[in-house]
Structure 1
Amino acid sequence: MNIREISKLAGVSPAAVSIVINNRKGVSASTREHVKRIMEQYNYHPQKRGSKNKKSSAETNKILFLKHRKHGMLVEENQGFISAIMDSIEAECRKLQFDLNIIISDNQFVETIHSIDFSSYIGMIVLATELDWNLYKTLLDIPIPFVVVDNNVPSIPCSTVSIDNWGNVYRALEFCISLGHTEIAYFRSNLEIQNFKERRSSFYESSRILGLSCSSLHEFSLTPTLLGSYKDLKKTLQKFKPQLPSCAFADNDSIAIGAIKALKEVGYRVPDDISVIGFDDIPYSAITSPPLTTIRVSRQEIGCLSVQQLLRICENRSHLSKTQVPGELIIRNSVK
């Protein structure tokens, strides 16, 4: 007998059997007792982790992490945001005694999914920050339990752990209103990913609800990297010399920091002439000049929730949920 055979006899997933064997949290008391009875009935005595013969245990304790990159601007260049999520997932797997295998898909999501041998894994976590909407349906080709991270993948019936973009943007604009700002510019990303779509929707709806004026003349489409946003905004400011409102919201911190550099080089004082607020709280935000007011979302919580949610699905394939993680406002000196 092995874990997969026991799981079939018990009517549960291999992950649930593994959880019982290793005496970890993640299954109900009734499931735990049921699995133990099946093991006793079939005289199954598993090898302990760390013993010489641990082949069967290792084969059923593997989780696959797929990191999808379309262009890498957000997965690689967002200054530690994504890597912190990955570190948290790895730490949670290690704490729960699961092996984590990582593979990378470089703009070949469909080909990568169809080339994976899923038989070695109990479940899968997909980093879908840069995943295009037209590829969402490919997720349904994954034959094992899976959780999507950093993308809400609307309209697809799957479990996700993502950012509460709507609520966090509202919180940022509410703070601007509280300091007396009545008009706001929008430094938005020129890349169409789900996070930015949700932030843009919230920006305009929240502005309407809060009574904050936001003219289309004050919307600037910028590359969502430090260097890209700096070059794009500086070029626009030098060419058109627009009259800017007293405050600006940026889709992420990379855009905000690049924009601040461009604003200062063409003669604006931040925050005296224009305040800037960002989103993500990347490490550079605390040391830029001036330090950036921003929204912080816990990368550690996103990572932990992803693993915990995956284990629940392994126990019950119908246990699907879309979790959104709230953030907190980090007040520094870029908003007057």
Structure 2
Amino acid sequence: MSVSAKSIARELGLSQSTVSLALRNLPGISDSTRRRVLEKAAEMGYQKSALAAVEAPRFLSLVLYKKHGSVLADTPFFSDLIQGIDQQAKKCGYQVFITYFYENQNIREQLESLKKSLCSGIILLATEMHDRDLLAFQSLEIPLVALDRYFPEFDCDCVVINNIYGAKKAVQHLIEKGHTRIGYLRSSVEIRNFRERFEGYSKGIRLLPHPEESRPFIVRISPVAEEAAGDMDAYLAKKPQLPSAFFADNDNIASSCMVSLKKAGYRIPEDVSIIGFDNLPVCKVMEPALSTMSVAKEQLGAYAVDFLIRRIDGSADSPLKIEIKPQLVERDSVKQMSPAGAE
């Protein structure tokens, strides 16, 4: 009976992917671990010919699910996410192939094509998905991890942003800066991430000391940068009484609304403060530079790969969910208010 990477892994108490990396002389493990694997392989009579299955090209499918494309677009956020996936996969001896999955096209044909690809596992970028959309992918019976969306009703590993924490933290920052009337530039496109950010905003404004200050002040804005400015222009044309600060669902909304506000004669942050979410490159080039909640995008991608390989190796038990907390990045778009609420 030939000795396999799986049997070596079992003897050493290691994952099969770790043993495979050692046998294939790939990076991603320590020298001491590699030595242990090779010594155990020799001891067990591992034959080079048995390496054929291990040396066969292994790849993961990164499926980008596009329901409408209003959120999942070619932005730096998703570019960084994909880079994190690709880098971690290479460390673990896998190649990544990107597949776009379009809801308005034949679902069955797309699933069949994915099944025929013979990938080892699927990372499903589920930003725009609904719960029911996951059923079709689970029917493939291929190891799968959902990225950027949680599916509480399904047995599925998920790697997500802690949106509630991030939005609440952004609002708390505005409160600490002395703002007592805090508005919300809320996405006009509904996805789970934005619903969670609304929950975080709601929790944040409830920390304001006076009940009349904690009523939501919401302006609906498109998350698509090209459309967001037009939405804000239309809102400002009504000459509304603005709050002293806004939290925005993402940096596309925040930066576009900053342009509209300045065009309408408002000074930032003197008249209106703004804080965004995601920490996109645009934050640094805005005038003033945009404060935001930074998301560790590459780390999100790397965790998704790690979770998926555990599923492929059979070393994972119950479905896991990992949430990454965004971190506050202070720049110049938020004003420190005087104790009276104005200077």
TM-score, normalisation: structure 1: 0.84
For residue 16 of structure 1, report the CA deviation from its aligned partner.
6.7
Task: For structure 1, list consecutive stretches of 5 or more residues without a partner in the other structure.
Answer: 49-53
- CA shift, 1:276, in A, is 0.6
* Matched residue type, 1:325: I
**Offset at residue 219 of structure 1 (A):** 0.7
Cα gap change, 1:90/1:276 in structure 2, threshold over 3 Å: closer, same or farther? same
Report if aligned partners of 1:186, 1:220 keep a CA contact under 8 Å in 2. yes
Residue of structure 1 equivalent to 2:76:
80
8 Å contact kept, 1:110–1:135: no
- Which of 122, 125, 128 is residue 127 of structure 1 equivalent to? 125
Q: Secondary structure at the match of 2:180?
A: coil
State the AA in 2 paired with 1:144.
I
Question: Which of 262-271 and 131-140 deviates more?
Answer: 131-140
The answer to whether 1:225 aligns with 2:224 is yes
**Inter-partner Cα distance in structure 1 for 2:43 and 2:142:** 24
User: Which whole-Å CA distance do the structure 1 matches of 2:106 and 2:296 have between them?
Assistant: 27
The equivalent position to 2:24 in structure 1, one of 22, 25, 35, is: 22
Other-structure match for 1:164: 162
- In structure 1, the residue matched to 2:339 is none
CA contact (8 A) 1:185 1:247 kept: yes
**Superposition deviation, residue 10 in structure 1:** 8.6
Cα-to-partner distance string for 1:47-75 (whole Å, 9 max, x where unaligned):
77xxxxx686234x221111112222322
CA distance in 2, matches of 1:10, 1:119: 27
SS at 2:319 equivalent = coil
| Structure 2 residue runs without a partner (length 5+) | 336-343
For each residue in 1:196-250, what CA deviation from the matched residue of structure 2 results, as whole angstroms up to 9, or x when unmatched?
111011111222144473444x311110022211100111210x21101100000
**Identity over aligned residues, as a percent?**
30
Could you give the per-residue CA deviations for residues 158-194 of structure 1, whole angstroms, max 9, x where no partner exists?
1011101011111111111111001111100011111
Q: Contact (CA 8 Å) 1:6, 1:38: kept in 2 or not?
A: no
Q: Which residue does 2:95 correspond to in 1?
A: 99
Number of residue pairs matched?
320
Report the aligned-residue RMSD. Answer: 3.1
Contact 2:205–2:215 (CA<8 Å) still a contact in 1? no
Counterparts of residues 276-291 of structure 1 (less than 5 Å): 276-291=274-289
Compared CA separation, residues 105 and 119, structure 1 to 2 (3 A):
closer
1:76: Cα distance to partner?
1.5
Provide Cα deviations, 1:91-121, integer angstroms capped at 9, x if missing partner: 1112222121221112248432343226722
The corresponding residue for 1:329 is 328
1:69 has 2:84 as partner: no
Aligned partners of 2:292 and 2:302: how far apart in 1?
23
Aligned to 1:180: 178
How far residue 329 of structure 1 moved from its aligned partner, in angstroms, is 0.7
Q: Does 1:192 align with 2:190?
A: yes
Letter in 1 for 2:286: T
Shift of 1:46: 4.5
CA distance in structure 1 between the aligned counterparts of 2:157 and 2:208, rounded to whole angstroms? 32
* 1:139–1:102 Cα change, 3 Å: same
Tell me, yes or no, if structure 1 residue 45 matches structure 2 residue 48.
Answer: yes
Rate the CA distance shift 1:66–1:109 in 2: closer, same or farther, 3 A.
Answer: farther
When structure 1 is superposed on structure 2, of 152-161 and 105-114 the one drifting more is 105-114
Could you tell me how far apart the structure 2 residues matched to 1:290 and 1:162 are? Answer: 30
Does the 8 A contact of 1:161 with 1:324 survive in 2?
Answer: yes
d(CA) in 2 for partners of 1:69 and 1:323? 23
